[in-house]
A = this chain, B = another copy of it.
């Protein structure tokens, strides 16, 4: 069972893989492994993955057989395991709990080589609807505080399999970055009775210099204090806190915007490795229950997607300090991306 351990200095939880611990020799091999020839995510290899959790199958085919369009399976090497109790305990000055959670893989397409940017808008919308389904389902498990949806594209960005896929990790704690965002939004709302993100969006639309696109109800822009070159934030212009509550139409429009945005990045930066992370409100049902009452939903939060192209290696002391140096002003990055023509498909 993996462990969740708390660092009392940094006030940060870390997942420690206690069972299949990697030895020094595991790190000596060249990281740039060649792609394996066999792909467990390709259509026809369904029996090589853990059993199907969810799938879109328009042809009435049976689970764990070919015929799917988007397929969700448990991660074969999960960071957290689904069975068990948290068993929270103190160990002297430290805190620990069992690494209970869920770790799923959304296989975005039966095709091995069609990345998100090259999917049709219709298929992209289906993928996003699967995110929503799994998010809502995992949030029903009251052990979990947060459901992370994220994608690693390319070896440098951490993708160990090249077949297009997204991951979901349900965690028994709210990740620190999300917790800070929730706090900021709550503090702002407490003083002003306005959403922090809405205020930022209004200022960005007004100034325009960091806007890449504004259409279909979504703003795509480079954050004012971007940490990384060509970092992007995709956010609904109207206030909305919860990705899990989006309508089909919301997701259809998101698909148009994400397709164009990913195509822009692909063209501008020659198909760069990237990560994206969906930031949505936490699983407050669980938090409310533990406190003995149903807590107010985080209406003051504003869901968004963060896209980080992995262009720089300057992450050395950043990890140690939380301090970033960005060599590309976000205004320049936005202008480059804005000027790229993308076909409406």
A residues lining the B interface (CB < 8 Å): 5-18, 20-24, 27-28, 31, 79, 92-94, 148, 150, 152, 155-159, 167, 171, 175-178, 180-181, 184-185, 188, 196-197, 199-200, 203, 207, 223-227, 229-230, 268-270, 272, 275-277, 279, 306, 308, 310-317, 319-330, 332, 336
Give which listed residue, B94, B270, B316, B323, contacts A171 with CB less than 8 A: B323
Give which listed residue, B27, B185, B207, B229, contacts A229 with CB less than 8 A: B27
Please state if A314 and B14 are interface contacts (CB–CB under 8 Å).
no
Give which listed residue, B13, B185, B317, contacts A275 with CB less than 8 A: B317
Cα distance A197–B7 when bound, in Å?
11
A230 to B: closest C-beta gap in Å = 8
Residues of B near A200 (CB, < 8 A) are 8-9, 93
Apart from A12-B225, A13-B225, A180-B322, 10 more pairs, CB < 8 Å: A10-B180, A12-B322, A14-B325, A15-B324, A17-B328, A27-B269, A28-B270, A159-B316, A175-B321, A177-B320
Please state if A15 and B157 are interface contacts (CB–CB under 8 Å).
no
Listed residue (A9, A158, A167, A328) with the most chain B CB atoms within 10 angstroms of its CB: A9
Given the known interface contacts A275-B320, A317-B150, the answer about A16 and B226 at a Cβ–Cβ threshold of 8 Å is: yes
Chain A interface SS verdict (over half): mixed
Query: Can you list 23 A-B pairs with a CB-CB distance of less than 8 A?
Result: A7-B225, A8-B184, A8-B188, A8-B196, A9-B184, A9-B197, A10-B225, A13-B225, A15-B324, A15-B325, A15-B326, A20-B327, A22-B229, A23-B328, A24-B269, A31-B313, A92-B207, A93-B200, A94-B203, A150-B320, A159-B316, A177-B321, A315-B319
Give which listed residue, B28, B31, B177, B317, contacts A10 with CB less than 8 A: B177
Please state if A93 and B199 are interface contacts (CB–CB under 8 Å).
yes
Give which listed residue, B6, B279, B315, contacts A158 with CB less than 8 A: B315
Copies per assembly: 2
Please state if B315 and A315 are interface contacts (CB–CB under 8 Å).
yes
A171 to B: closest C-beta gap in Å = 7
Cα distance A297–B112 when bound, in Å?
59
**The 9 residue pairs across chains A and B that have the minimum distance between CB atoms:** A158-B316, A277-B320, A176-B322, A7-B225, A5-B225, A175-B321, A150-B317, A177-B322, A175-B323
Cα distance A308–B27 when bound, in Å?
14
Residues of B near A325 (CB, < 8 A) are 14-15, 17, 79
Please state if A6 and B308 are interface contacts (CB–CB under 8 Å).
no
Q: A311: nearest residue on chain B (CB-CB)?
A: B27
Residues of B near A226 (CB, < 8 A) are 14, 16
Residues of B near A16 (CB, < 8 A) are 225-226, 326, 329-330
Please state if A27 and B272 are interface contacts (CB–CB under 8 Å).
yes
A170 to B: closest C-beta gap in Å = 12
Residues of B near A313 (CB, < 8 A) are 31, 155-156, 158
Q: A5: nearest residue on chain B (CB-CB)?
A: B225
Given the known interface contacts A9-B196, A27-B311, A176-B323, the answer about A329 and B229 at a Cβ–Cβ threshold of 8 Å is: no
